[in-house]
Structure 1
Amino acid sequence: MAKEKTVNTVVKDEISTAFKWFHATSANGGAMLMAAVIASYFSVYMTDTLKIPAAAASAIMFVATLWDAINDPMMGVIADRTKSRWGRYRPYFIFAPILLTFFATMIWIDWGFASTSTKVAYVLIMYIGYGMTVTMYSMPHMAILPAAVRSNEQRNMIISLGAGVCATVFTIGNTFTANITGFFNNIGFKNGYVPFMLICGVFAFISFWGLFATSKGKEKYLVEPEKGHPLKEIGRVLKYKEVWPNLIAWVMASMGYGMMFSTSVYYIMYYWARPDLIPVYMGVISIGALISMVVLMPIFLKVFKTGQKALLVSQALSIVLYVILFFAGKTNFVFLCVLTFISACTASMQNALVNVLVNDTIDFIMLKEGKSSNGVISSIKGFAQKCGNTIVSSGILAVLSISGYIAGAIGQQPESAMFALNFLKFGAPSLTGIILIICVAKSPMNKYAEDIVDMKVKMGEK
């Protein structure tokens, strides 16, 4: 512990408040608000508004998000090998909001195509473009933090700040999307999602370009990447068995967090047959997520000392609540909301706490290889996260299709579809939480903690 205090003292004043805020509000601000709306409402928009069959919508999500996962390692290698007068990771923050705003807006535009195949092709192309843009900025965004900051304390503080911003915009996106899009519809817009995305884009421009400006000269803790075939760098990381539990944990966290939001609209609309309660229920989840990130996560980190322990405790509590809700969630709506709120408070922080494992992995590879692999490791985490997203986005629709789900048939779903809705909402996140706990608790990387502290002390002294 004394050694870690030495690390924190050496680098205490190296980053500005502006850098912290722009790092927190770039990927987690306007961009995350777009992601929140897309994650919770786009699948329903495809099946119920565009009238794309659930099986075809599932195929769209599978192909797009699988490709999104595959290109993450490519982007990580590209980011690590970027050489420019602006730095290694900073240039990507210039182009991110431009492409992001374009694709996030275009996926909501209904051109009135008569052919289902044409609709599918258009949505697929635009959704792939959106996903590739997210990949383009996500890898550099994750990689620049350990490149600029050596102290675990400061890293965790910035991660917590970003988590709070993320939770806030998710609350807005999930609770008020219907009100916001409805407002735009009432003032003459054919599709309220389009102006909503454009407004999100304005915030994305401010935060990403702010991060570009405030990160100038901050990429201090880097060494030249190894020359050779790009796949060699990925293999150099994945050859260590210590990395694999973290990779699995990232997949499970992505699935657990994604299902919490992506299944909720379907759950209330069809399992409860109360579409009028969707804004209330989404608000319960979003406010719970906000409290989780802003209030409870810092408390968990302080009480349990490390991100790993905080993650374990929060997941264990969430699983207990999910099991209760699986068997008794339809007993009473107030009961459902209360337990859902508590579970959101404990479960939501997983999406931020797993980022601690990214920094741990970066430090571990630096210890073992003496080389910076920030971008590659961030991309591997991104790949794992996108694999989780692929399973969630396409898996939900695939399971519903197999179960006999009927789009628009409120109160008339078959029993098989009702069971599937309940399982997707509470059963599946329980399973992902159990696997996540096993991976983190049994991680072989933990035994290198003291050696990593020594390494960071020496780096801080240079």
Structure 2
Amino acid sequence: MKLSGAAKASYGLGAVGKDMVYMLSASYVLYYFQDILGVSAAAMGVILMVARVFDAFNDPIMGAIVAKTKTKWGKFRPWLLIGTLTNAVVLALMFSAPPSINGKGLVAYAAVTYILWGVTYTMMDIPYWSMIPAFTEGGKEREGLTTLARSCAGVGSAIITIITVMSVSALGHLFGGAGITDREVERVGFSYFSIAIAVLFVLFTVICCIFVKEKSTVDMKTASIGEMFKALIQNDQAMAVVVAIVIVNCSIYITSNLVIYFFKYDFGGTGWRGDYTLFSTFGGGIQILAMMLLYPVLRKFFTSIKIYFISMGMAIVGYISLLLLASTSMSNVYLLFIPAFFIFSANGMLSVITTVFLANTVDYGELKNNRRDESVIFSMQTFVVKLASGISALIAAIALQVLALSNDTAETATEIDYSMGVESSQKMGLRMTMTIIPIIGLVFAIIWFKKKYILTDEKIEEIAEELKTRN
């Protein structure tokens, strides 16, 4: 029996909800605690780094727990619902720090809520993706559903990127009362906004659990950390790809962590929130179009390896043009669409290409080691992305600490040009952190990949033929 349209739509809706929550945390928790509440940037960097690495190591543990679960509702949906409910509560708490807490107490509050958020998110994320074989028949149906879910996840992320800053300001003014500081407006706004997103998250997951039924019991194998590192050591091509993913993601995530600071303290103006929203809307749209349209078009003319280098070159061009434009007195946000096009297009294509490269290393590993580590290799993708997220958050936080950028100039709830109180050296330091460090990382990734990765299209065909002969 084929999957119904309602089941497909409900599963996609679940992806929208969970990535709305993920993007809210990933993009704004540093800004909320450091810029609005005044927690030390260095302390936040350590918290984010430790929490993300801990979360990456926690994935296999949660996978083992889900695999052993047996209930009349199946093994996946109970954890999906439990994880969603607890994560929604923690999300609301994380962005609603009590005003009476300060100093070390606020640091502890940030650490506890963020680590709990990561644990509870893993609790629902692992069963969400792992349940696909339990209600699909395989082949095109399974592939199509996975593609749909990934696309819906991208939509969820894009929604948060586009609406957060303006929504937080509007809600803060609505519920914060008259005569409060701009910092208080954002504090109140984030509290109400996170509650709204948490409610939508729960609603979307409940719909997913109602309409998506587990048709069969499937064996679920989640790779342990030991298996991941063993596969890396024994598969040099997997190592080449994983290192490239870490470096590329670190480079891009550094910029994504700091771009809101750029618009607030450097690009400036009383309408910085609107400019940031325009920039993010354009960039998010370009990234999705690059994944869905630009990559398939380029693939007709170039190999995946060449597209990888094209993408890296585009990203570097984007960062250079961003640095040049930011270093002028330019105040037209539409000019920033030029670097946005190159950077976001490259990011979209690289997310597709690195997945293709990882898939190629599975066949290579089978030929070399007489063992097919498919589940281990793809479990590693989640691990390294979280690792890169933690490293980039630490780098961004250290930069903010050194540059001493903070939200201390607000006196009223009216719009304020924060860039007026920032020294030119601080602005230049922010620009260079956002651009020069990523460029260095990307250049290293290009050199590393060119030297280490050998799986050309011809080599992949050769491996496929050898495996066919062996089997």
Deviation at 1:215, TM superposition (A): 6.2
Question: 1:240 deviation in Å?
Answer: 1.9
Q: Which amino acid aligns with 2:14?
A: S
Alignment match, 2:259:
264
Instruction: Pick which of 238-247 and 159-168 moved more.
Output: 159-168
- Pair 1:349 & 2:348 matched: yes
Residue 322 and residue 279 in structure 1: after superposition, are their counterparts in 2 closer, same or farther (change >3 A)?
same
Q: CA deviation at 1:58?
A: 2.3
Question: Equivalents in 1 of 2:80, 2:363: separation in Å?
Answer: 24
CA distance in 1, matches of 2:256, 2:109: 25
Structure 2: gaps (5+ residues) = 177-186, 410-418
Structure 2 vs 1, CA of residues 401 and 84 (structure 1 numbering), >3 Å: closer, same or farther?
A: same
- For the residue of structure 2 that corresponds to 1:408, the secondary structure is coil
Q: Where in structure 1 are there 5+ consecutive unaligned residues?
A: 1-12
| Partner Cα separation in structure 2 for residue 41 and residue 141 of structure 1 | 24
Q: Kindly provide the amino acid, as one letter, of the partner of residue 100 in structure 2.
A: F
Over 3 Å counting, the alpha-carbon distance change for 1:133 and 1:252 in structure 2 is farther
Alignment of 1:63-462 (within 5 A): 63-76=50-63, 81-82=67-68, 84=70, 92-143=79-130, 155=143, 161-188=148-175, 191-209=188-206, 214=212, 216-217=214-215, 230=224, 232-238=226-232, 239-274=234-269, 276-294=271-289, 297-304=292-299, 310-331=307-328, 332-334=330-332, 336-350=335-349, 352-353=351-352, 354-357=354-357, 359-360=359-360, 374=375, 376-405=376-405, 407-408=407-408, 410-438=419-447, 442-444=452-454, 447-448=459-460, 451=463
Q: Is the 8 A contact 1:246 1:440 kept in 2?
A: yes
Provide closer, same or farther for how the CA distance between residues 74 and 308 of structure 1 changes in structure 2, counting only shifts above 3 A: farther
How much has 1:286 moved relative to structure 2? Answer: 2.9
Counterpart CA distance in 1 for 2:87 and 2:465 is 38
Could you tell which deviates more after superposition, 233-242 or 304-313? 304-313
- CA contact 1:68–1:135 (8 Å) conserved in 2: yes
Q: What per-residue deviation string (whole Å, max 9, x for no partner) do you get for residues 217-275 of structure 1?
A: 4776x68789xxx5553344223222112222332343244234321111122223335
Deviation at 1:37, TM superposition (A): 2.8
**Given that residues 240 and 449 in structure 2 are in contact (C-alpha distance below 8 angstroms), is that contact kept between their aligned partners in structure 1?**
yes
For residue 150 of structure 1, report the CA deviation from its aligned partner.
6.7
Contact kept? 1:245, 1:440, Cα under 8 Å: yes
Shift of 1:382: 2.0
Instruction: In structure 2, give the amino acid aligned to 1:443.
Output: Y
CA deviations 1:306-349 (Å, max 9, x no partner) are 76655443332122121122233333233642213312441341
Structure-1 residue corresponding to 2:182 = none
Percent of aligned pairs sharing the same letter? 20
What code does the residue aligned with 2:107 have? V
Query: Counterpart amino acid of 2:59?
Result: D
Residue number in structure 2 paired with 1:6: none
CA pair 129-223 structure 1, distance change in 2 beyond 3 A: closer
Show CA shifts across 1:35-94 (max 9, x none). Answer: 333333332221232121222222322332232233234445555x53535666565423
TM normalised by structure 2 equals: 0.77
| Counterpart contact for 1:272–1:330, Cα < 8 Å | no
Matched-pair contact (CA < 8 Å) for 1:315–1:437 = yes
Larger radius of gyration: 2
Question: How far apart are residue 116 of structure 1 and its match?
Answer: 0.6
Deviation of the 1:302 alpha carbon: 4.3
- Label 1:338 to 1:210 Cα distance change in 2 as closer, same or farther (>3 A): same
- 1:366 and 1:215 mapped to 2: Cα distance? 34
The answer to whether the 8 Å contact 2:166/2:277 transfers is no
What secondary structure sits across from 2:408 in the alignment?
coil
State the one-letter code of the partner of 2:443. Answer: I
User: Offset of 1:449 from its aligned partner?
Assistant: 5.4
Amino acid in structure 2 at the alignment position of 1:325: L
Say whether the 8 Å CA contact 2:87–2:117 is kept in structure 1. Answer: yes
CA contact 2:323–2:435 (8 Å) conserved in 1 = yes
Structure 1 counterpart of 2:183: none
**Counterparts in 2 of 1:364 and 1:20: CA distance versus 1, 3 Å:** farther
State the Cα deviation string for residues 417-440 of structure 1 (Å, max 9, x = none). 323211222223333333444566
Aligned residues between the structures: 439
Equivalents in 2 of 1:181, 1:135: separation in Å? Answer: 26
| C-alpha distance in 2 between matches for 1:84 and 1:149 | 21
Cα separation, 2, equivalents of 1:24 and 1:364: 33
Structure 1 residues 264 and 453: alpha-carbon distance in aligned structure 2, compared to 1, 3 A threshold: farther
Q: Which has the higher contact order (CA 8 A, sep 6+)?
A: 1
Equivalent residue of 1:263, what SS?
Answer: helix
Equivalent-residue separation in structure 2 for 1:389 and 1:276 (angstroms):
29
Aligned to 2:416: none
For 1:248, give the aligned amino acid: V
C-alpha contact (below 8 Å) 2:83/2:120 kept by paired residues: yes
Give, in angstroms, the shift of residue 182 of structure 1: 3.3
Q: Which amino acid aligns with 1:339?
A: I
Note closer, same or farther for the CA distance 1:258–1:97 as it changes in structure 2 (3 Å cut): same
Normalised to the residue count of structure 1, the TM-score between the two structures is: 0.78
Structure 1 residues 198 and 345: CA distance shift in structure 2, 3 A: same
What is aligned with 1:44?
A: 31
Deviation at 1:300, TM superposition (A): 1.4
**Which region of structure 1 is more displaced relative to structure 2, 312-321 or 342-351?**
342-351
Aligned partners of 1:206 and 1:453: how far apart in 2?
Answer: 49
Give the 3 Å change call, closer, same or farther, for CA 392–159 of structure 1 in structure 2: farther
1:454 Cα deviation after fit: 9.2
- Give 2:282's aligned amino acid: I
Report the residue type matching 1:214 in the other structure. Answer: V
SS of equivalent to 2:38 = coil
| Partner residue, 1:34 | 21
